[in-house]
Amino acid sequence: MTRRLAALRGSRGRAVAFAVAVLAYGATGIFTVPTTSLAVTRVFGVVIDPAVPPGVHWWWPRPFGRVDRAEVTRTFMMPVGYFMQDEIRNVAPPASISSWLTGDTNILELRARVNYRIAEPAKFLFDAEAPTEILRFVAGSAFTEAASALSVDDLLTSGRLALIERVRARAQQLLDAWGVGLQILTVNLESVEPPPTVVAAFQDVQNARADRERQISEAETYANGTLPVARGEADGKVSQALAWSDQRLNRARADAERFTQLAAEHRRAPTVLERRLYLETAERVLPRVRRYVLDPGGDGALPIRIVQ
Amino acid sequence: MKPWRIVVCFAVVAAAALGSAFVVDTTEYGVVTRFGRPVRTYTTPGLRFRIPLIDQVVRLDARLLLTEPPLSEYLTLDKKNVVARAFLTWRVDEPLRYLQTVVIREAAEARLAAVTGSELGAAFGSVPFEALVSTEPEKMRLGTIVGQVEDRVRDTAAREYGIRVVALRLERLAFPQQNEASVFQRMRAERQRIAKQFRSEGEEASLKIRAEADRERARILAEADRKAASIRGQAEAEAARIYADALATDPDFYRFVRTLEAYDKIIDKDTTVVLPADSPLMKVLLTGPGSGR
């Protein structure tokens, strides 16, 4: 009886122990997904749920199932044309990393960063061995393709936007085609510069461009100064002429008036007026000249000194 | 049945189950070999079984793999040196052939690199440099050339190694180190030419603007002169008309008055005047009163 009881107790104890063990094992299948992430669940290597949302979940524990998480809301950054560790240690990247060949066979140093996120966790986690490395090479090749078709002047000035857009579109197209699960958000061109040994020559072109603008603006200043002065001078000439003609007409009118009055006087007493005018003129003229009066009875010969 | 027999049976079954079951993950392929001879290939993930102890499982990476052959120098048709770095993304396509021909990943990468290098060499050697790098779209054929290389490498890899090349691209195209000095020299010369051009353009534009301003100034002044002359001319004509109108009333008297005025002007202190004694002026003086008229 006691043995049977003990056996019963013993078997019940084993059952409880077994149940506890099973529960404890099952509890290791509880997992959490942070708000920034999605999780992917697998059973025996087969992807079951490619997008488990944030929260607390249960999944088959190992060795039957596996859970992997990927941060989908975070923006990651991939440098192009330099390495992050070089940047941190403030070391210039090797030329084979930083320099690109342009369409007109110049060499440019180009630094960019590609901002990306994980768009499809399952693809990102399981479809490619090194998705971010692939992204680096894809971005590099997109830059190579775009730069080798653009001129150095385009790349340094107006072509930057075109370059960025081309690179972004091209790189995304390749990533999608290869199923890498990454999405490119933006491509930032941090710097485009000529190599250090030729930077002075490029700077001189900038200076020359500025010189050209300066010369043109100086000439325009000259023109803007000259023309108003000329217009003023022209106005002066015209108003001088107008003033002169006013004067001329007034004098003419005055003269005409005077003559008309004189002529009226003359009509009344011609002889008197004529004699008076004659004598007045003689009075004015004769005092300033050398005068000789010849006797009509004489022989009319002039004294010798008149010929002197 | 004795309890220990049950336990032994159970243990044997469990061991057999554990030894025979294996998982093929989503990231891999499984090839089951029996004494080294492949018997089954699993390309999809899941729980699989084998005969314990006898069958071995070889796992191959099923993911997209990246290979970057080293930077190499090539010669174009017009004997220019270029350095190119290619990269390939690829997958194992036929696990069996892959296992038989290359065995391990390093060997596969070495062969892909070799094929890529020789195909790129052949492709670059048959085109001029400007087909690779040019601002003129009709000359530029980099995309097509790399595409052809990609196709050839893909064919070879599929045929011989059971590899599917997903893509082959150029990560970088550059000049060899020893050519860089001459490239920089050329860049510098080019910049100097452009700078000079800007400066002479500035000079030209400046001279042109100044000359135009001067010409405009001359034109404005000439125009003003013409206007002034015309105004003076009109005034002169008007004055002449006024005179004519006034004088026409008594021309003889005018002649008399004007003659007197003229005397006033033309006779100065150096003039000698000879007056006859019987002139109207002297007659009165010499002959006395009453003779004036």
* Residue B119: inside a domain: yes
Question: Considering chain B, what is the average pLDDT of its residues?
Answer: 88
Q: Residue B8 sits in which domain range? A: 3-61
What is the per-residue DSSP string for B162-193?
-EEEEEEEEEEEE--GGGHHHHHHHHHHHHHH
Same domain, B84 and B108: yes
B155 lies in the same domain as B81: yes
How far off is chain B from A190, nearest CA to CA, in Å?
19
Same domain, B74 and B157: yes
- Specify whether B163 is located in the same domain as B188: no
> Model confidence at B19, in pLDDT bands (50, 70, 90)?
confident
β-strand partners of A259: none
Residues A155-167 have a mean pLDDT of 87
Q: Has residue B217 got a pLDDT over 60? A: yes
- For chain B positions 130-189, those within 8 Å of chain A (CB to CB) are 132-135, 137, 140, 142-143, 166-167, 169-175, 177, 180, 183-184, 186-188
Task: List pLDDT tens digits, range B135-144.
Answer: 888 888 888 9
When pLDDT is cut at 50, 70 and 90, the band that residue A298 belongs to is: low
Token code pair at residue A109: 């140093």
Mean pLDDT for the stretch of residues A200-204: 91
Query: What does B12-80 look like in DSSP terms, one character per residue?
Result: HHHHHHHHHEEEE-TTEEEEEEETTEEEEEE-S-EEEE--TTTEEEEEEE-SBEEE-PPPEEEE-TTS-
User: Which tokens is A28 given?
Assistant: 């290791």
Handedness of CA B109, B114, B120, B123 (dihedral sign): negative
Q: Does B237 touch chain A (CB under 8 A)?
A: no
**Could you tell me if B53 and B105 lie in one domain?**
no
pLDDT band, residue A304 (cuts 50/70/90): very low
| % of chain B beyond a pLDDT of 70 | 97
Beta strands B272-276 and A290-294: pairing type? Answer: parallel
Q: Are residues B74 and B170 in the same domain?
A: yes
What letter does residue A106 receive in the DSSP assignment?
Answer: -
CA distance B251 to B244: 9
d(CA B238, CA A243): 15
- Cα dist. B136→A102, A108, A222 in Å? 12, 19, 42
Q: How far apart are CA A97 and CA A105, in angstroms?
A: 17
Looking at A81-95, A147-161, A257-271, which range is the least confident one? A81-95
Q: Which class for B220: exposed (0-12), middle (13-18), buried (19 or more C-beta within 10 A)? A: buried
Pair B110, B165 in one domain? yes
Beta strands B72-75 and B46-49, pairing class: unpaired
ipTM of the modeled complex: 0.71
Residue whose structure tokens are 């342009």: A102
CB contacts under 8 A, B 52-111 vs A, are 61, 63-66, 68, 71, 83, 85, 87, 89
**Average pLDDT for residues B45-67, to the nearest whole number?**
90
Residue type at A227 in one-letter notation: L
Residues B30 and B81 in one domain: no
The mean pLDDT of A57-69, rounded to a whole number, is 89
Binned at pLDDT 50, 70 and 90, residue A9 comes out as: low
What mean pLDDT do residues A96-104 have? 84
pLDDT at A307 (0 to 100): 38
- A178 contacts in chain B (CB < 8 Å): 64, 89, 166-167
Number of domains in chain B: 4
Buried b (16+ CB within 10 A) or exposed e, A115-141: ebbbbbbbbbbbbbbebeebbbbbbbb
Residue type, B174: A
Q: Which domains does chain A have, with CATH numbers?
A: 9-71 (no CATH), 76-194 (3.30.479.30)
**Residue B145: per-residue pLDDT:** 92
| Partners of residue A285 in chain B, C-beta under 8 Å | 263-264, 267
Instruction: Determine what percent of chain B falls in helix, strand and coil, rounding each to the nearest 5.
Output: 55, 20, 20
Are B74 and B168 within one domain? yes
Residue B223 lies in a domain: no
